[in-house]
Amino acid sequence: MQERINQVKERFLQYKDWEDRYKEIIKIGRDLGLYPEEKRDEKYKVKGCQSQVWLYPEFKDGRVYFSADSDAVLVKGIVGLLVSVYSDATPEEILSTKPDFLKEVGITEHLSMNRSNGLAAMMKQMQMYALVFKSMQKA
């Protein structure tokens, strides 16, 4: 997981201005891939986002895999960035890894209050899924 965070840092810190980072976030959203239509369900919607955001978790072999989508271009990039870091991780890794790297690369400081709240809601949803899967392992 730390390797993926380092890749994100490298990818964003090469740009000096916010506009280039903004374009990179949008590119990540475009590269997210198709989200299954049957998973575009209310129960997978992230509450607390102004835009519509879906986050679908799968738990296989002790690891959590996320797929996601949004109806807003920038938000889709943000959720795509979180998926690129937190997918294919153990519940423990997800729960113990704070999204500090987003601040380090200058993403959070340029988000509106609504988008910051949405980002926090996406992160909270990922952690909730991880918590559920962690408890299932012990059962």
Q: pLDDT at position 110, please?
A: 85
Q: Is 87 helix (H, G, I), strand (E, B) or coil?
A: coil
Dihedrals phi, psi of 66, to nearest 5 degrees: -115, 145
Q: Which positions are catalytic?
A: 49
Structure tokens at 69: 């989508």
d(CA 94, CA 21): 24
* Mean local confidence (pLDDT), 13-25: 92
Mean pLDDT of the chain: 94
CA-based end-to-end distance of the chain: 26
- Element containing residue 79 per DSSP (H, E): helix 73-86
The string of pLDDT tens digits covering residues 71-96 is: 999 999 999 999 999 999 999 999 99
* Mean local confidence (pLDDT), 54-68: 97
Structure tokens at 65: 């895999």
Structure tokens at 104: 């380090």
* Mean local confidence (pLDDT), 59-72: 96
The string of pLDDT tens digits covering residues 113-132 is: 888 999 999 999 999 999 99
Other residues' Cβ atoms within 10 Å of the Cβ of residue 54 = 21
pTM value? 0.94
Percent of the chain with pLDDT strictly greater than 70: 99
Q: pLDDT at position 26, please?
A: 96
Q: pLDDT at position 20, please?
A: 94
Give me the domains of the chain, ranges plus CATH numbers: 2-138 (3.90.1010.10)
* Mean local confidence (pLDDT), 57-77: 96
Q: pLDDT at position 139, please?
A: 60
Structure tokens at 38: 């049957």
pLDDT at 8 > cutoff 90: yes
